[in-house]
Amino acid sequence: MLLAIDVGNTNIVYGLFDGERLVHQFRVESSRGRTADEYAVTIRQLLAMRGIEPGHVDAAIVASVVPALTEPMLDLVRRAFALEALVVGPGIRTGMAILYENPREVGADRIVNAVAAYERFRGGLLVVDFGTATTFDCVSPKGEYLGGVISPGIQISADALFARAAKLPRVEIARPPRAVGRNTQHSMQSGIVYGYVALVDGLCERLVEELDFPCKVIATGGLARVIAPLSKRIEDVDDDLTLVGLRILYERNQG
């Protein structure tokens, strides 16, 4: 079985593949203070909960946007499974031309998402990933990574509002009953959710106009299913896009 590890600024997501099938998925908090031993104990406990012996894991791949956690993840794989993990980074075979001015600057998660999306749809794409930051990644009809946009994530935006406005309470990020809020909670939810929908749709519209080729707009990430139903531009949501992309990259780098 293949263990795919997606290290983000907020969460680490572990995906376990049996062939092409994603059979298990685990999500833990990204903590820079935890050691590789602690992470190793955690993943073995998570696998034990599903009745999976560590010996069933025979390969691993890691994509990390948190440099301080990359080495602990590699150590985790060594200690928990006695394996060396493949790392998404310079030198890895992606099967996709990276047309960024400096390809080394592109986050591993952005490349992984682009690869997975193009493998699935085989056309011009705009991939919106709702993570700690919200990223918009453009892929040409020929499967070239063109670049995109990085914007503050919806949770970051909300947290800034909670922290800087002394009289405003912390509210759940959820769709309010209507756009016109009739109490403070609903007014804030309207601004956070509908305001972010407008940001997403506005950027998608501008990017599609600039690209000048037909684009399918797909979304992934933690809050994709909150924003996507309200968006006029997002056409599809794939919760497992990053993990599937890691599986594809692992396969492309074997033999």
Residues 127-144: pLDDT tens digits?
A: 999 999 999 999 999 999
Mean pLDDT of the chain: 95
242 and 189 fall within a common domain: yes
Res. 31 pLDDT band, cuts 50 70 90:
confident
Residue 253 resides in a domain: no
Residue 141 resides in a domain: yes
- The answer, yes or no, to whether residue 255 has pLDDT greater than 80, is no
pLDDT of residue 91: 87
pLDDT of residue 167: 92
23 and 137 fall within a common domain: no
Per-residue pLDDT of 209-236, as tens digits, reads 999 899 999 999 989 999 999 999 999 9
67 and 167 fall within a common domain: no
Residue ranges making up the domain that contains 147:
103-246
CA 111 vs CA 29, 66, 125, 185, 246: distances in Å: 22, 15, 13, 37, 10
Res. 192 pLDDT band, cuts 50 70 90:
very high
Residue 192 resides in a domain: yes
Q: What pTM does this model have?
A: 0.93
109 is a catalytic site residue: yes
Per-residue pLDDT of 147-166, as tens digits, reads 999 999 999 999 999 999 99
Average pLDDT, stretch 36-59? 92
Residue 55 resides in a domain: yes
34 and 108 fall within a common domain: no
Please tell me the total number of residues recorded for the chain in this structure.
Answer: 255
Res. 13 pLDDT band, cuts 50 70 90:
very high
- 3-state helix, strand and coil shares in percent for the chain, rounded to the nearest 5: 40, 25, 35
Residue 147 resides in a domain: yes
Residue 162 resides in a domain: yes
**The total number of structural domains that make up the chain:** 2
- The answer, yes or no, to whether residue 239 has pLDDT greater than 80, is yes
pLDDT of residue 32: 85
Residue 255 resides in a domain: no
60 and 155 fall within a common domain: no
- Percent of residues, the chain, with pLDDT higher than 70: 100
Pairing of strands 11-18, 145-152: unpaired
Res. 34 pLDDT band, cuts 50 70 90:
confident
**Which of 6, 109, 129, 137 is the catalytic position?**
109
82 and 111 fall within a common domain: no
126 and 234 fall within a common domain: yes
232 and 128 fall within a common domain: yes
**H or E segment and range at residue 37:** helix 36-49
User: Which residue from 157, 155, 145, 140 is spatially nearest to 108, judged by alpha carbons?
Assistant: 145
23 and 73 fall within a common domain: yes
11 and 136 fall within a common domain: no
Average pLDDT, stretch 103-127? 96
- Neighbour count for residue 166 (Cβ, 10 Å): 6
The CATH number given to whatever domain includes residue 186 is 3.30.420.40
Residue 97 resides in a domain: no
Average pLDDT, stretch 203-208? 97
